């Protein structure tokens, strides 16, 4: 009976290690040059928090970078950039989706597009 219990616990241990290895996560830093203010930060973080595979997201609108931790077997960096673009913001080499950009509040648009620029 003791051998069966030991075998059972070993089996659970190996299964746990195996599952942990499958859910490997990475952290990436993405340039988000069109993020202007706290409202932009909140919009992206709220939208992205519902996306599959996103563990953590932090938008720094002052430095214009977004740090994303994600599970590699659920999403990838290109999907994350596309999601940010679908919010209306540029993400590295991916340009904001035009219709989403048009729906942004004026303060969240680039000054050359009639936006208010930075708002703290």
Q: What's the pLDDT score for residue 30?
A: 97
DSSP 36-82: -BHHHHHHHHHHHHTSTTEEEEEEETTTTEEEEEEETTT--HHHHHH
Residue 120's pLDDT band, with cuts at 50, 70 and 90, is very low
Contacts of 2 (CB under 8 A, 6+ apart): none
pLDDT digits (tens, 9 = 90+) for 6-37: 656 666 765 555 555 457 999 999 999 999 99
Q: What is the pLDDT of residue 22?
A: 54
The pLDDT value recorded for residue 70 is: 96
CA distance 13 to 23: 16
pTM: 0.74
Any idea what DSSP says for residue 109? S
Reading phi first (left if > 0) and then psi (alpha if -120 to 50, else beta), residue 17 is in alpha
State the pLDDT at residue 109.
87
Contacts of 101 (CB under 8 A, 6+ apart): 88, 89, 109
pLDDT digits (tens, 9 = 90+) for 32-81: 999 999 999 999 999 998 899 999 999 999 999 999 999 999 999 999 99
Domain architecture of the chain: domains with CATH: 23-113 (3.30.70.100)
């Amino acid at each position: 009976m003791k051998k069966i219990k030991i075998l059972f616990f070993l089996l659970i241990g190996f299964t746990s290690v195996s599952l942990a290895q499958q859910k490997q996560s990475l952290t990436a830093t993405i340039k988000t040059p069109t993020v202007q203010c706290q409202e932009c930060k909140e919009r992206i973080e709220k939208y992205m928090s519902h996306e599959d595979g996103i563990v953590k997201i932090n938008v720094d609108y002052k430095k214009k970078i977004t740090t994303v931790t994600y599970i590699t077997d659920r999403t990838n960096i290109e999907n994350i950039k596309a999601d940010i673009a679908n919010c209306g913001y540029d993400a590295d080499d991916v340009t904001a989706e035009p219709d989403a950009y048009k729906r942004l509040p004026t303060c969240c648009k680039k000054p050359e597009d009639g936006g208010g620029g930075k708002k703290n």
